[in-house]
DNA sequence: TCTGTTAAGGGGAAAAATCCCCTTTTTTTA
DNA sequence: TAAAAAAAGGGGATTTTTCCCCTTAACAGA
């Protein structure tokens, strides 16, 4: 029987290498190669006819992150099953990734046996959720989450731009200039986001944005 | 020849498990066990006479993080060589960990061969630095780092307390009450930290603190 | 075409944050 | 032990931030 082929995309070489060992230890799977980021993946996919069955995709990577990479795969290699693989258990991130077309979302603290199960399920059913992810999504659906229930409506471009600049030492006046809008309009965005995220101050906004990976904090 | 024994402390089970496979593949090393956090490590160390040669210690963990764990090891099992193992390449974090007694600092994007080298070096020389860590430390010594050159003088307890509360939606007035100090004193801390970190606003302070892991952002 | 919605922006005031210069009391240290 | 440095706190002014209520124009759906 032909083994299912897996590609690993993760900037943590040590992790990628170790994970490769783990996957290769499973009878049904084998790792074709692993790469450090989205750009490298695309290069490899373009230059090789050997299309993998599964891509294990990290989200936080330098150069080209998981979201951008996922978009490219969806556009150009829609037949590949993508499992997102991240330490980030924030709802915004999970939903964003699944919306982009990931077939499952694994947290890096997953137990190796569940990982094996995930690989198999994504091959047979085309979908897998880890338990904690499922719980998070359920909470979201039922609105049981104080802070995270806002993830439904996604931010408009202009709001996101504002948010990014708000996570900066700029004053609102400077942000307004940067965005070529009136300070009053900026104030409107501010108020909208405060309500949306249920925060009380710009500090709260920054913390929320960082915790939910809406801006890259580092 | 007896193999050198290794213990892995990391909350990412998948990583820990994979890494265990990698380490066991080296002739000279074998993994005794791996645990999810500092508390579990201590429990294991206390109930077993089998003292490991090397501990691979993650820093960001729930329950009991790498810093606290390192302190305990230094106090109670000083003969064990500890290699910190983190994704975090910020100077503050590296220096803090090395000050606490870690014998080396590995970044998780390290190449597996360097990892093997690190294990060997820490056994033979009792010390190892990955290249990027060494570079960071050199920059620090030569003061070539705009923002990070302040890592030398470390914060006083009271300043750190203030900083943590500043990374919160509390107003300064509330922080003052919480710390049982006059708002004016708090204002003094604020100004001192602004100068120390070369930031212009409370937002800047929060960003700096998060980026340098002075507070735990998540 | 009427109507509801949304983006953009204004007025104005209260509350926080920022800044600079100063006093008093401890604590260090030369 | 006298001088220096550090810690706690005050006065007061200027900006920024935050809030609430209102107007106008564009636009989409029934």
DSSP letters, B146-184, are TTGGGGSSPPPHHHHHHHHHHSSS--HHHHHHHHTS-HH
Q: Tell me the C-alpha distance between B32 and A204, whole Å.
A: 44
A163 or B127, greater pLDDT: A163
Q: Within its chain, how far is the Cα of A39 from the centroid?
A: 16
Beta strand B4-9 with B29-35: parallel, antiparallel or unpaired? parallel
Q: Provide the strand spans (E) within A87-132.
A: 104-107, 128-129
Q: Are A59 and A66 in contact (CB under 8 A)?
A: yes
Measured between CA atoms, the residue of chain A closest to residue B113 is: A14
Q: Tell me the C-alpha distance between B78 and B72, whole Å.
A: 9
pLDDT the model gives residue A150: 44
Among A130, A129, A123, CA closest to A55: A123
Beta strand A81-86 with A128-129: parallel, antiparallel or unpaired? unpaired
Tell me the pLDDT tens digit for each residue of A171-217: 999 999 888 888 899 999 999 889 888 899 999 999 988 887 788 76
Interface test with A, best of B24, B88, B169, B213 (most A CBs within 10 A): B169
Tell me the pLDDT tens digit for each residue of A5-62: 999 999 888 888 888 888 998 888 999 999 988 889 999 889 888 889 999 999 888 7
B chain contacts of residue A21, beta-carbon cutoff 8 Å: 18, 21-22, 25
| Cβ partners under 8 Å of residue B98, min gap 6 | B84, B105
Indicate the pLDDT class of residue B115, thresholds 50, 70 and 90.
confident
Of A17, A22, A110, the CB nearest to B112: A17
Q: Tell me the C-alpha distance between A108 and B165, whole Å.
A: 30
Among B19, B39, B26, CA closest to B83: B19
Q: Are A121 and A93 in contact (CB under 8 A)?
A: no
* For chain A, the helix, strand and coil percentages under 3-state DSSP, each to the nearest 5: 50, 15, 35
Which chain C positions have some atom within 7 A of a protein CB? 7-12, 15-20
Q: Are B118 and B57 in contact (CB under 8 A)?
A: no
**Residue A196 CA, nucleotide D30 C1', distance (Å):** 30
The domains of chain A, with CATH numbers, are: 4-141 (3.40.50.2300), 155-211 (1.10.10.10)
Does residue A134 register a pLDDT over 90?
no
Q: In Å, how far are A196, A208, A211 from A202, measured between CA atoms?
A: 13, 10, 14
Q: What are phi and psi of B193, to 5 degrees?
A: -70, -35
CA quadruple A204, A205, A210, A212: dihedral positive or negative? positive
A chain contacts of residue B110, beta-carbon cutoff 8 Å: 13-14
pLDDT the model gives residue B153: 52
**Is A110 in contact with B13 (Cβ distance < 8 A)?**
yes
Among A20, A41, A18, A44, CA closest to A31: A20
| Cβ partners under 8 Å of residue A44, min gap 6 | A7, A33, A35
pLDDT the model gives residue A157: 76
Beta carbon pairs, A and B, within 8 Å: 106
Tell me the pLDDT tens digit for each residue of B61-100: 878 888 888 888 888 888 888 998 888 777 777 777 887 8
Among A159, B206, A117, CA closest to A150: A159
Q: What mean pLDDT comes out for the span B54-58? A: 92
Among A83, A90, A214, CA closest to A155: A214
Q: Quote the mean pLDDT of chain B.
A: 82
Q: Which residues of B touch A (CB under 8 A)?
A: 11-15, 17-19, 21-22, 25, 36, 87, 90, 106, 108-112, 115, 166-169, 171, 199-204, 206-207, 210-211, 217-218
CB atoms within 10 A of CB A71: 13
Q: Tell me the C-alpha distance between B112 and B213, whole Å.
A: 26
Q: For chain B, first and last CA: distance in Å?
A: 44
**Is B12 in contact with A109 (Cβ distance < 8 A)?**
yes
Three-class SS of chain A: CCCEEEEEECCCHHHHHHHHHHHHHCCCEEEEEEECCHHHHHHHHHHCCCCCCEEEEECCCCCCCHHHHHHHHHHHCCCCEEEEEECCCCHHHHHHHHHCCCCEEEECCCCHHHHHHHHHHHHHCCCEECHHHHHHHHHHHCCCCCCHHHHCCCCCHHHHHHHHHHCCCCCHHHHHHHHCCCHHHHHHHHHHHHHHHCCCCHHHHHHHHHHCCCCCCC
**Is B22 in contact with A17 (Cβ distance < 8 A)?**
yes
A chain contacts of residue B89, beta-carbon cutoff 8 Å: none
pLDDT the model gives residue A142: 45
């Amino acid at each position: 029987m032909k083994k299912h082929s897996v590609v690993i995309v993760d900037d943590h070489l040590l992790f990628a290498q170790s994970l490769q060992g783990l996957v290769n230890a499973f009878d049904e799977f084998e790792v074709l190669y692993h790469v450090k980021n989205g750009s490298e993946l695309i290069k490899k996919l373009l230059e090789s006819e050997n299309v993998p069955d599964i891509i294990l995709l990290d989200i936080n990577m330098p150069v080209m992150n998981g979201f951008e990479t996922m978009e490219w795969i969806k556009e150009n290699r829609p037949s590949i099953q993508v499992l997102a693989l991240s330490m980030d258990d924030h709802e915004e991130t999970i939903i964003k990734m699944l919306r982009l077309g990931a077939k499952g979302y694994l947290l890096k603290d997953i137990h190796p046996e569940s990982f094996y199960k995930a690989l198999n399920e994504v091959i047979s059913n085309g979908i897998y959720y880890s338990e904690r992810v499922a719980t998070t999504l359920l909470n979201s659906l039922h609105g049981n989450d104080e802070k995270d229930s806002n993830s439904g409506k996604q931010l408009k471009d202009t709001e996101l731009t504002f948010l990014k600049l708000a996570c900066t030492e700029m004053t609102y006046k400077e942000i307004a200039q940067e965005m070529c809008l009136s300070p009053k309009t900026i104030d409107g965005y501010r108020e909208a986001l405060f309500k949306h995220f249920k925060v009380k101050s710009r500090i709260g906004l920054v913390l929320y944005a960082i915790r939910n990976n809406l801006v890259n904090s580092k």
